[in-house]
Amino acid sequence: MQPLANVTPLKPPPRAGAIEVRNVGQVFRTKSQDVVALEDVSLDIKPGRFVVLVGPSGCGKSTLLMMMAGLRAQTSGTITVNGAPIPQPDPNRVGVVFQEASLFPWLTAEDNVEFPLALRGVAKAERRAKAQDALKLVGLEGFGKRHPHELSGGMKQRVSIARGLVQDPPVLLMDEPFAALDEQTRMTMGDELLRIWAATGKTVVFVTHSLTEAVYLADEVIVMSPRPGRIVDQLQVNLPRPRTYEMLSGDAFGALRDRIWRHIRKSA
């Protein structure tokens, strides 16, 4: 674990949290035609990095994320997480955070966080202790007994993150997790996520529509374009960490955002 805010862990366990995507393709067969969702995508994500996938709708960024989670099989190519393929979901290697709707509304926040442990038959006391730790990490200590409809949008998303982290996987995949939040909450949650990321040293792959969010959060931004889905650019974001609100109006920030926008305008 690495408490410092701005770098990958100094000595990560070898390959823990590394993701390798090699020549991955995905074809959806429909009745009338085959749709190429992804074509020859290759990507190397180093352990502990914060990588953001951006691109217009239909560029396959969510599809790619689902493949990294083992929730969908690719038509061709290979994906490895921690050096091994991921043919089905493995919560010990990969935690997934969806949009806010994915909390179970009939369970309390802590029962939601315990859910993946309960599936594995972990004893109640251990489950509770781990859930409390995860809720504390996301700043929701004392909210465990509430049901999702008693929590705000931002709090629900914190519960989702806690659920993704409760088994301490080296990789956290996030599929537009803040898309349903209002602007202010979104900014706060971005900072919170960076704090959690820095505290845990996880590899994070984050899908978003927002260019500002992409540059603000990322070590590296992967720009994708549709028809067929492919990678058109990879940008290193060398802004210092911790990131601050003032950086948003800086020249370096603007230049990066402009570069992404030019790619997206071309393909949209």
Partner 1 sequence: MSAKTLRHLIVAGLLVLWELLPRTGLIPELFLPSLSSTLLAGWNEAAEYGHALAVTLYEVAVSMAFACGGGILLGAIVGSLPRPRLLIMPMVSSLYAVPLVILYPVFTVWLGIGSESKIAFASIYGFLPTMLATAAGIQTIDPQLLLAARSMGATLSQRLVRVIIPAAIPTVLSGLRIGGALVIVGVVVSEMLISSAGIGYLISRYRTILDSPHVFAGVLLVLFMAIAFNTAIRWIERKAAIWQTGTRAGQSAADEVGSGAMQPAT
Report, in Å, the least distance between residue 10 CB and partner 1: 30
Query: Does residue 31 belong to the site contacting partner 1 (CB under 8 A)?
Result: no
Alpha helix positions (H), 105-178? 109-119, 124-137, 153-165
Contact 5, 242 (CB under 8 A): yes
Angstrom distances, CA of residue 251 to CA of 190, 255, 266: 21, 6, 23
Residue corresponding to tokens 């290759």: 42
Query: Does residue 69 belong to the site contacting partner 1 (CB under 8 A)?
Result: yes
Candidates 102, 185, 210, 212: give the one binding partner 1 (CB under 8 A). Answer: 102
User: Closest CB to partner 1 among 93 and 263?
Assistant: 93
Q: How many residues bind partner 1 (CB under 8 A)?
A: 27
Task: Of 142, 200, 135, give the one whose Cα is nearest residue 5.
Answer: 200
Report, in Å, the least distance between residue 155 CB and partner 1: 13
Q: Which phi-psi region, left, alpha or beta, contains residue 13 (left: φ > 0; alpha: ψ -120 to 50)?
A: beta
Report, in Å, the least distance between residue 222 CB and partner 1: 21
Site for partner 1 in 149-208 (CB under 8 A): 149-150, 163
Query: Does residue 71 belong to the site contacting partner 1 (CB under 8 A)?
Result: yes
Contact 81, 68 (CB under 8 A): yes
**Total residue length of the chain:** 268
Report, in Å, the least distance between residue 221 CB and partner 1: 24
Report, in Å, the least distance between residue 2 CB and partner 1: 26
Contact 175, 210 (CB under 8 A): no
Candidates 1, 119, 123, 125: give the one binding partner 1 (CB under 8 A). Answer: 119
Residues that bind partner 1 (CB under 8 A): 69-71, 88-91, 94, 96, 98-99, 101-102, 104-107, 115-116, 118-120, 147-150, 163
